[in-house]
Structure 1
Amino acid sequence: MNLVSIRLITDDVRRLAEFYELLTGVEAAWATPDFAEIVTPAGTLALGSTRTVALFGPGSARPADNHTAIIEFLVPDVDAEYRRLRAAVADFVNEPTTMPWGNRALLLRDPDGNLVNLFTPVTEAAIAKFAAR
């Protein structure tokens, strides 16, 4: 079994796609106006409109209501990403911080309030852990 994608349900697919295009530097691939994907080498972040929820079952997902997941991106230099994004992103949770498990991390929120973590491994153990990812 392979994890293929994480899908976010939103009332505004275009706004979320533009945010993740800015964040990742990857252009969204649009299937319909209600569905776009940010395809990275490690996985895909899918963005679906609330109009698609009816296809899965009414009430099965609610936009802008995530309080448990963190979307994480491995980046070469988290401090450089912070400098690049400071003027364009409104909701930073913290500044780059070195965590006890060896990653330097930057937490921010996307326009729907989903928590996003950009991180760079900085200790020998963390660098080894993520070397193949």
Structure 2
Amino acid sequence: MIPRLDMIGIVAQDLAVSLAFYRLVGLDISEGAEAEPHVEITLPNGLRIAWDPVSTISSFDDTWMAPTGSSRVALAFLCDSPAEVDAVYDRLVATGHHSHLAPWDAFWGQRYATVHDPDGNAVDLFAPLSDSEAGSS
């Protein structure tokens, strides 16, 4: 058997702030989850995303330290349209989240933007450009 990617885990400095960010992205995270020591949802495609506060991670890994510098992994969210990329980006930035790359038409044929989540993780938003949009970049 070949291992398959099943879940992405996020270690959150402030669980409530992290969950609020991902709700703004559009994820369906139940209210009250902020009080849990582990939060997990399953996306429509079957991939799971989980959040653990630092206290949960530290309870079984006393050597855990928050990373420093730029992130090496990004969560990339496919949006339904280039306009949705812009709308989600605007919603996140308007509520005070850090913009890393404002929406732009990438040479590989996608509308693309990057925002940092509250823990500094890169969150990419993207959607395919139509043929006419891709040709005008």
Which TM-score applies when normalising by structure 2?
0.74
Q: Between Structure 1 and Structure 2, whose CA radius of gyration is higher?
A: 2
Rate the CA distance shift 1:31–1:114 in 2: closer, same or farther, 3 A.
closer
Consecutive aligned runs of 4 or more in structure 1 exceeding 4 Å deviation: none
Greater displacement, 86-95 / 71-80: 86-95
Instruction: Report the count of equivalent residues.
Output: 123
- RMSD of aligned residue pairs (Cα, Å): 2.5
Report the AA paired with residue 69 of structure 1.
V
For 1:1-133, what aligned pairs fall within 5 Å after superposition? 1-28=3-30, 30=33, 33-42=36-45, 43-54=47-58, 56-59=60-63, 61-63=64-66, 65=68, 67-76=71-80, 77-122=84-129
- SS of 2:99's equivalent? coil
CA contact 1:39–1:45 (8 Å) conserved in 2: yes
| Distance in 1 (alpha carbons) for counterparts of 2:121 and 2:77 | 13
- Unaligned ranges ≥5, structure 2: 132-137
CA contact 1:20–1:38 (8 Å) conserved in 2: no
Rate the CA distance shift 1:80–1:12 in 2: closer, same or farther, 3 A.
closer
Rate the CA distance shift 1:62–1:101 in 2: closer, same or farther, 3 A.
farther
CA contact 1:13–1:34 (8 Å) conserved in 2: no
Report the AA paired with residue 120 of structure 1.
A
Rate the CA distance shift 1:79–1:54 in 2: closer, same or farther, 3 A.
closer
CA contact 2:15–2:34 (8 Å) conserved in 1: no
- SS of 1:67's equivalent? coil
| Distance in 2 (alpha carbons) for counterparts of 1:49 and 1:32 | 10
**CA drift at 1:85:** 3.2
String of CA shifts for 1:14-59, please: whole Å, max 9, x gaps: 2111111121241248496221124321322211122222455322
Rate the CA distance shift 1:33–1:102 in 2: closer, same or farther, 3 A.
same
Q: What residue in structure 1 maps to residue 135 of structure 2?
A: none
Report the AA paired with residue 24 of structure 1.
G
Which TM-score applies when normalising by structure 1?
0.76
| Distance in 1 (alpha carbons) for counterparts of 2:61 and 2:123 | 27
CA contact 1:92–1:107 (8 Å) conserved in 2: yes
- Unaligned ranges ≥5, structure 1: 125-133
